[in-house]
Structure 1
């Protein structure tokens, strides 16, 4: 897959599937296929032969689909061709009437972005409703239902990488998939929101009136979780990334006096991205978010002692308005509205600020030395990847 920085919602959909549409065509421009992966051929050749079920939701999938996560709160599957992820599916159930309409379901389970209803039909004994989210990089098809007698329901989402498949083929594929879909509400016994609250240590059960989750809990956590891990060494070294395929934060320290460089490396030993290239001691936080799918290792070049602590994206530091920070860091904001940000840097080397929002991403600053400026950024729930050799602030 070509290197690019993509918006958060696209990554979430690539990691956490959203289901789809019935036998109706969602209108959208087709994306051209690129690379060596023939996504159209893969989708057309899939046969739904393997039965799956989760919380009363029954469906069939091709035998080569992989189960990446199955918990009391969510089932998550992926489908790939030649090790290139083409899409994902997630299934979440609800006990509190959270699937009465598309936007309510979306807000309860994904919390950001807009999902619009476009069709409904009776299929396999249930009334399925269909909705969709579309962007340049990712199309998401959603199927959901709510049992009128018990208020139990589910939301199933299927996302597609637009780099390798077009909207027409995605629609056809999703229509074929939903033909296998059925539901028994009596078997829905776990609510995703209750499960999530218990996972966070809350003793209070959620209801349809539950308080909205913050950006870190609702969105960053869905990028993937794993146990924090710290690795240390002296001189040149290679360490395995503990959670390949999941974007992560890396807090890195180096005590050497010479060149210090850190690359992400794929399974074949090829460099993927240069995270750090500095002289002397180093203390900072970096991320592999911009190209997280391929790396399996870090290659470290150092003349001294070093340490790397891997953390999930949900542990990211929240940025207070106008707070002064130093050096490389990855920080998020969680505001109700935003139109611009003012940025100041006091440093001698390269200063870079990449902004990742729900609907878009942008390179806000790429300068050498001191910088003062105001730039457009209208994503109130977003995070910044900052590279600096000095003190910097972002205010709004």
Structure 2
């Protein structure tokens, strides 16, 4: 089940984050060129204009008189014959309609989850992600730095998805803002990358506190309605940051180092939380 609100559509991702989409889920006008308006060109000078021939006046029919002194004309006979003749009219036949399969709209197939694994530095090429939103579950068992960059079709870095020392396991946003064509990996150990549809992410309903560990993606559709104070905690030693993704933003609602315990506002219309943490963390409505 996807949240009621959606992130922006794929056409809007390069501007700012479509949950789903959304929402995704959310939305471009198409200009239609009109041709053949049916205007009749004016005749050029010097051309002969053909006038419609005048309608000839009907000649008067002779008046006949019978023995009783009554008069009649030939038009009466024609009227009688016209009345006696059955009226005929061409009935319009219904126009046959033919369906054009090429013109029919089809629902795009959802993108399939993708999985990759390797050792050390490598570049993985992604299959097109279409209109769906994905996050990545990443693991690494090395002892030195592991870093992942999303890369566009021109080979330019888009986002630094992961940057940690040693072993790592976490969930990170993939195409919330832009569609990457590849992921560039720097590592000294074995690693895995699993792309997961955003609709399959864990969900917080706002009823009780939600607890997580490390980097996480959490759906929060319908939790924030107007002013929504939330209390956040973190017991790690390094950076603790949370971005609230919605239809036209992400909002950085907390950004601190080490242990944290504080209250802030969850933006109205938030769809998903992107959490960066190295310890245990929690979020609860006040």
Q: 1:289 to 1:371 in 2, by over 3 A?
A: farther
* Count of residue pairs brought into register by the alignment: 207
Give, in angstroms, the shift of residue 371 of structure 1. 1.6
Aligned CA RMSD, in angstroms, stands at 3.7
Structure 1 or 2: more helix by fraction: 1
Give, in angstroms, the shift of residue 270 of structure 1. 2.4
Q: 1:336 to 1:186 in 2, by over 3 A?
A: farther
Q: C-alpha deviations, 1:328-386, integer Å up to 9, x for none? A: 01111133653222211111111111101235431111111112222222425511011
Aligned to 2:173: 287
The answer to whether structure 1 residue 395 and structure 2 residue 280 are counterparts is no
CA distance in 1, matches of 2:234, 2:269: 22
- 8 Å CA contact 1:245–1:292 kept in 2: the answer is no
Among 134, 138, 145, which residue is 1:252 paired with? 138
CA distance in 2, matches of 1:230, 1:286: 14
CA distance in 1, matches of 2:223, 2:139: 35
Aligned to 2:157: 271
TM-score, L = length of structure 1: 0.45
Please say which structure displays the higher CA radius of gyration. 2
Among 232, 243, 261, which residue is 1:343 paired with? 232
Ranges in structure 1 where 5+ consecutive residues have no aligned partner:
1-7, 17-83, 86-109, 114-132, 134-139, 141-158, 160-169, 180-184, 188-194, 197-221
Aligned to 1:362: 251
Ranges in structure 2 where 5+ consecutive residues have no aligned partner:
16-21, 36-96, 100-105
| Structure 2 residue matching 1:14: 3-state secondary structure | helix
Structure 1 or 2: more strand by fraction: 1
Among 263, 266, 270, which residue is 1:374 paired with? 263
The answer to whether structure 1 residue 324 and structure 2 residue 208 are counterparts is no
CA distance in 1, matches of 2:248, 2:112: 29
Among 195, 198, 202, which residue is 1:313 paired with? 198
TM-score, L = length of structure 2: 0.61
More off after superposition, 381-390 vs 238-247: 238-247
| Structure 1 residue matching 2:9: 3-state secondary structure | helix
For residues 1-396 of structure 1, what are the structure 2 equivalents within 5 Å?
A: 11-12=8-9, 14=11, 140=27, 159=28, 174=31, 176=32, 225-244=110-129, 247-293=133-179, 295-321=180-206, 322-335=209-222, 338=225, 339-340=227-228, 341-358=230-247, 360-380=249-269, 382-396=271-285
Q: C-alpha deviations, 1:78-137, integer Å up to 9, x for none? A: xxxxxx99xxxxxxxxxxxxxxxxxxxxxxxx7789xxxxxxxxxxxxxxxxxxx9xxxx
CA distance in 1, matches of 2:158, 2:170: 20
Q: 1:392 to 1:241 in 2, by over 3 A?
A: same
Q: C-alpha deviations, 1:228-285, integer Å up to 9, x for none? A: 1211111111111223565421111101011111111223332221111100100001
CA distance in 2, matches of 1:286, 1:391: 16
Taking CA–CA contacts closer than 8 Å with sequence separation of 6 or more, which of the two structures ends up with the larger relative contact order?
A: 2
Q: 1:300 to 1:359 in 2, by over 3 A?
A: closer
Give, in angstroms, the shift of residue 319 of structure 1. 2.2
